[in-house]
Amino acid sequence: MSQGPAPATAPPEASKSGLKAWLTADVALSTTQAAAQRAYFSWLRFQANPLALAGLVVLVLLLLMAIFAPLIATHDPLLQNLEHRLQPSSARHWLGTDEVGRDVFSRIVYGSRVTLYIVLLVALIVAPIGLVVGTVAGYFGGLIDTALMRITDVFLAFPGLVLALAFVAALGPGLENAVIAIALTSWPGLARLARAETLVVRSSDYIAASRLQGASSFRIIWRHIMPMCLPSLIVRVTLNMAGVILTAAGLGFLGLGAQPPMPEWGTMLSTGRRFMLDHWWIAAYPGIAILLVSLAFNLFGDGLRDVLDPRSEG
């Protein structure tokens, strides 16, 4: 469309604030400004998607809840009070109390810390491993590719939860071990994804151009291939987060994750199960929390995909 009648760009308005003018300037004057403009236009696209925005809001609330847990919680999450056990929601205990009289609301608030801790730790372990394994295998091909992909296949061959169970059984129950187990089971998918992206990118002219400037393999992978794989990887990690939360909850449920009395949503759900028929709130509220956060991650991930997909820009 280089010769076609270009849509007239909006005339710069005098009323625009300095930052907005800087972000929408026709000509970027520095790398920072160019990157900021790009981020700004991505944000404009993202916020046009109400569901994704809702997901983001829930995640921000979760983060705030985790940070300010001591201020938000109405009770000590570990404090037992056997006189007030198994109470329904009331002004004193908003979401009721559990079988040893702990305040369910406060435990859910503090549990957000555990959930975030799991999610962030898994992301931090999994994304780099998947990215490095996938791009290296995809870029070099041949023996390296075969070796790395067979290792990946071994991990992929088992269902995630079963493999995580095996790891936890071997390492011993506990939150850290649960995180490691979940990470070990979820990197292969990411490596596969990164490899597939790399295979597409590898044959493009800009990689050839970079090689013709004498760039080393390390530089090509780091500067050219990883930035192209990263967006889909971020999206995938975000979408995986729902699964991670559920796996963590599952491990907690089986008594292999966070150990009591730590307020972890999965563990709460698991113990609440015994009282579910008469005292449904003990199991229901942590369940709702898990559902909400996994859903939020999914919606947010979908929105990110629309914005970050490198193919959506010309």
Partner 1 sequence: MALLEVRDLAVTFGVGDSLTRAVDGISFAIEAGQSYGLVGESGCGKSTVLRAVSGLNPDWTGEILLDGQRLLPRRERAFYKLVQMVFQDPYGSLHPRHTVNAALMEPIIIHGLDDANGRIVRALDQVQLGPRFRFRYPHQLSGGQRQRVAIARALILEPKVLLLDEPTSALDVSIQAEVLNLLADIRRDNHLTFVLVSHDLAVVAHMCDRLGVMLKGRLVEELSVEQLQTGAVENAYTRHLLAASKGYDRRLAVRADDTDLAVRDDG
Partner 2 sequence: MSETSPASPAAGAPMLAIEDLRVRFATPLGPVDAVRGISFTVGREKVGIVGESGSGKSMTGRSILRLTPKSATVTARRMAFEGLDLLGASEREMRAVRGRRISMILQDPKFSLNPVVRVGRQISEAFRVHHKASEKEARARALAMLEAVQIREPARVYDLYPHEVSGGMGQRIMIAMMLIPDPALLIADESTSALDVTVRMQVLAILDDLVSKRGLGLIFISHDLNLVATFCDRVLIMYAGRIVETCRAQDLANARHPYTRGLLDSLPRLGERRERLAVLERDPAWLEQEL
Residues that bind partner 1 (CB under 8 A): 2-3, 27-31, 33-34, 38, 204-206, 208-216, 219, 223-224, 227-228, 310, 313-314
Residue 8 interaction partner, one of partner 2, partner 1, none, beta carbon < 5-8 Å per kind: partner 2
* Closer by beta carbon to partner 1, 179 or else 207: 207
* Closer by beta carbon to partner 1, 5 or else 214: 214
Residue 84 interaction partner, one of partner 2, partner 1, none, beta carbon < 5-8 Å per kind: none
Least distance to partner 1 from the beta carbon of 203, Å? Answer: 10
Nearest to 207 by CA among 194, 219, 196: 219
* Closer by beta carbon to partner 2, 48 or else 144: 48
* Closer by beta carbon to partner 2, 7 or else 18: 7
Q: Can you tell me the distance from the alpha carbon of 265 to that of 268, in angstroms, rounded to the nearest whole number?
A: 5
Give the total residue count for the chain: 314
Nearest to 242 by CA among 294, 181, 187: 294
Least distance to partner 1 from the beta carbon of 222, Å? Answer: 12
The amino acid at 41: F
Q: Can you tell me the distance from the alpha carbon of 269 to that of 273, in angstroms, rounded to the nearest whole number?
A: 6
Residue 9 interaction partner, one of partner 1, partner 2, none, beta carbon < 5-8 Å per kind: partner 2
Contact 138, 197 (CB under 8 A): yes
Contact 281, 90 (CB under 8 A): no
Query: DSSP string of 171-240?
Result: H-SSHHHHHHHHHHHHHHHHHHHHHHHHHHHHTSHHHHHHHTTT--HHHIIIIIIHHHHHHHHHHHHHHH
Least distance to partner 2 from the beta carbon of 33, Å? Answer: 21
Least distance to partner 1 from the beta carbon of 8, Å? Answer: 16
Least distance to partner 2 from the beta carbon of 201, Å? Answer: 22
Least distance to partner 1 from the beta carbon of 233, Å? Answer: 14
Exposed, middle or buried by CB within 10 Å (0-12, 13-18, 19+), for 142?
A: exposed
Residue numbers of the site for partner 2 (CB under 8 A)? Answer: 1-5, 7-10
* Closer by beta carbon to partner 1, 172 or else 314: 314
* Closer by beta carbon to partner 2, 45 or else 85: 45
CA atoms within 13 A on the CB side of 206: 10
